[in-house]
Amino acid sequence: MNCTNHSSLIRFLSLILILGLMESTGWSQVSESLVFEIPADARAAALGGRIMADLEPDGHGAANNVALLDSSMDRKLTIDFVDYFAGMSLTTVNYALKPRGQFNGQVGARFQNMGTFQEMDAAGNSLGTFNGGDYLLYSGWSYRIDSTWSIGAQGFFGMRTLDREVAGMFGADLTIHGVWPEKNIAVGAGVTSLGHQFGLEGTQPSGALPKDVQIGITKGFRNAPFTLYLRAGHLETWDLAPPGTYDDSVNPLTGDLIKNPTFKLGDQLMRHVGIGAAISLGPALTLMTGFDYRRRKEMQAAGRLGTNGLALGLDLSVQRFRFRITRNTYHFAGSTTHFGIAFNPSIFRAQ
């Protein structure tokens, strides 16, 4: 790496750190959208959350981390769909543009359907139904600094609707990625959903979008058929637990103080962490599994955990198509299903 590239890398890393850790002075913070929070990509969902570091380029993952793009993704289309709860769903469409030198670009869209709701008046009479959802368009570019490092920047804009309530939003993602193939190791970092929401109609609030400072490390093994993934998210905020999580309680019969048994430091740390493993079963089939501690804790109900936070998925290549499917347990009441497909649309023109 020459001095110019080295200086550019340091400046970009510094920018990510400053933007990720600084507070949005004078701006209140609006609620987070599932468009930013739930990984639509079946592979990411199966490996513990958004992938910030990967040993191979990936068009699905690039929708959230544009630094994962490279020239091998030339004009490939990826489509992801998540069947969430109670009629809710999330869809992502991502298209990699033709490379331009060291630059690799993409365009895409994310759509979150909140489902159908029953509208009632003050007397409880039905007034019909209405829908809600979040809609996002984005475009970004990655730049390959050298054989190891790539940096990425992506802009987005969109809107949030709930019947006659409408808000607009815009912002950017900044990411960096490094990979050492001879050592089977990759690292990545970024700050995503760095932006602002503004009310357009109704009572929708204006304020800063909840940003997400993330890091990741991935390690493969030369003589073993598996790869390990470790990520940490929302590093801009140390304590992600709801208020009262670590409070002691009082026995209602005796009045005795009951100490909270939770190891506070460990619980706070693990709420940032997702882990995963991919096991190669051949050149065209990979088994994936992952665990998200925060999901497990936040989606429990009445102390019931079940298999919350666990995920299991498959990555399968069939001729010129690549399919992904994952079952992800977000709540003991049921699991979500993630579907994904990747291909180059030019195969249809060739036929």
pLDDT of residue 28: 63
Structural domains of the chain sorted by starting position, each given as residue range(s) with its CATH number in brackets: 3-22+41-118+130-235+272-350 (2.40.160.60)
pLDDT of residue 25: 46
Identity at 291, one-letter amino acid code? F
Report the chain (351 residues): mean pLDDT per 10 consecutive residues.
Answer: 57 63 58 81 90 90 90 91 82 93 93 81 78 91 91 93 88 93 93 89 86 93 92 91 86 84 91 94 93 83 71 92 88 79 78 52
Contact 190, 52 (CB under 8 A): yes
pLDDT of residue 333: 64
- State how far the alpha carbon of 279 is from the alpha carbons of 58, 78, 207, 314, 338, in Å: 17, 22, 43, 10, 19
Closest CA to 278 of 335, 320, 214, 230: 230
CA distance 124 to 138: 41
- Taking the alpha carbons at both ends of the chain, their separation in whole angstroms is 44
Contact 163, 130 (CB under 8 A): yes
pLDDT of residue 32: 76
